[in-house]
Amino acid sequence: MTAVLDYTSAGPFTRIDGVDPLALESLPTDPVQICRVVPYLVVQPTDARSLNLPADRFDENQIRPASVLLRRLLALDPAPVTSAREPDKRLVGTCRHFAVLSCAFLRHRGIAARVRCGFATYFQPGQGVDHWITEYWDDAGKRWIRIDSEILGQNVLPRAHNLQPGEFLSGGEAWLAYRRGEIDGSQFGVYGTQNWGPAEIRGNAVKDLAAINKVETLPWDEWGRMTDAYDGKTGADYDLLLDDIAEVCAGDDPVAVRALYEHEDLCVPDNLIRF
């Protein structure tokens, strides 16, 4: 029997057990205010290079579980997580870390939340840049609200707390748009690298399916047939599977989402989840 997904409870990477409860008790209860805490807890590796940090600090970028991230954060500064840190006392991490910590805090407060992997259209004109965000369920509006914690308080977007349609495309949404000829797949990829094109959309569609199954991998994790897909070694059959991912994620039926994730080419292997 396929398990039903409960987005108010933690998954393997959003558990924060073992973290000092005193550090968490001041977390707000409003979802947007919860996410406003996170920009002061994480610094991007590119921004951290000027801080003269020890080399091992950059290993924080490789940590998957929120519980380990928070213990590392509190070892640098034991103040409550609601206390803004100086950049050298923040975790070194990518957009995925911003999104995962936001999701972990929201679930800690009993708010249905999940991480999404896809592409932001607001960083580079005409491009979809590989990016991870968080979304939470709004009971009043009966919808998921997408929020980009990393840029809250910045001037990138006027409504980073409530992303508008088209500003962020999940992996599946980008794949559907690509298949329909609505976007140029060559303009979707990882900023600052040569990793652009439909293969990047394929990869993010699989990672997004995992994320909405509460398994928020690292951006560079690969499993199943993903490596072959990145190398251009998959064919029409794999693209049909990607079509299924896009349609199931768009339908947002938790039972169907979970059932598809159990496919041998899509389920995250235990060796990536164990820690």
Report yes or no on 3 lying in a domain: no
The per-residue pLDDT for 3 is: 61
Of all residues in the chain, the percent with pLDDT exceeding 90 is: 96
The per-residue pLDDT for 1 is: 43
Report yes or no on 154 lying in a domain: yes
Q: How many domains does the chain have?
A: 1
Position 225 confidence tier, pLDDT thresholds 50, 70, 90: very high
Yes or no: say if 37 and 27 are a contact pair by the CB < 8 Å rule: yes
- Cα distance between residue 69 and residue 48, in whole Å: 16
| Beta-carbon count within 10 A of 172 CB | 27
Yes or no: say if 229 and 235 are a contact pair by the CB < 8 Å rule: no
CA dihedral 104, 105, 106, 112 (to 10 degrees): 30
- Helix pair 198-211, 254-261: axis angle to 10 deg: 120
Mean pLDDT, the chain, integer? 96
Report yes or no on 9 lying in a domain: no
Residue 220 has pLDDT above 70, yes or no: yes
- Cα distance between residue 198 and residue 187, in whole Å: 9
Report yes or no on 233 lying in a domain: yes
Buried-state track 243-265, b at ≥16 Cβ within 10 A, e below 16:
ebbbebbeeeebeebbebbeeee
Residue 200 has pLDDT above 50, yes or no: yes
End-to-end CA distance of the chain: 27
- Cα distance between residue 114 and residue 264, in whole Å: 23
Yes or no: say if 219 and 115 are a contact pair by the CB < 8 Å rule: no
Report yes or no on 265 lying in a domain: yes
Report yes or no on 31 lying in a domain: yes
The per-residue pLDDT for 4 is: 78
Position 149 confidence tier, pLDDT thresholds 50, 70, 90: very high
The one-letter code for the residue type at 167 is E
Average of per-residue pLDDT across 165-185: 98
Average of per-residue pLDDT across 249-273: 96
- Helix pair 254-261, 236-251: axis angle to 10 deg: 150
Strand partners, 132: 117
- Token couple for 63: 């940590």
Residue 163 has pLDDT above 80, yes or no: yes
Task: Name the nearest CA neighbour of 196 among 213, 224, 174, 172.
Answer: 174
Strand 188-189 to 128-138 pairing: parallel
Task: Name the nearest CA neighbour of 78 among 18, 19, 12.
Answer: 19
How many alpha carbons lie under 13 Å from residue 63 in its C-beta half-sphere? 23
Yes or no: say if 24 and 108 are a contact pair by the CB < 8 Å rule: yes
- What domain range is 209 assigned to? 21-273
Task: Name the nearest CA neighbour of 94 among 43, 50, 134.
Answer: 43
Report yes or no on 191 lying in a domain: yes
Task: Name the nearest CA neighbour of 101 among 228, 183, 18, 10.
Answer: 10
The DSSP symbol for 20 reads -
Alpha-carbon 179 to chain mean position: 23
Average of per-residue pLDDT across 222-238: 97
Report yes or no on 83 lying in a domain: yes
Task: Name the nearest CA neighbour of 105 among 6, 207, 36, 18.
Answer: 36
The per-residue pLDDT for 191 is: 94
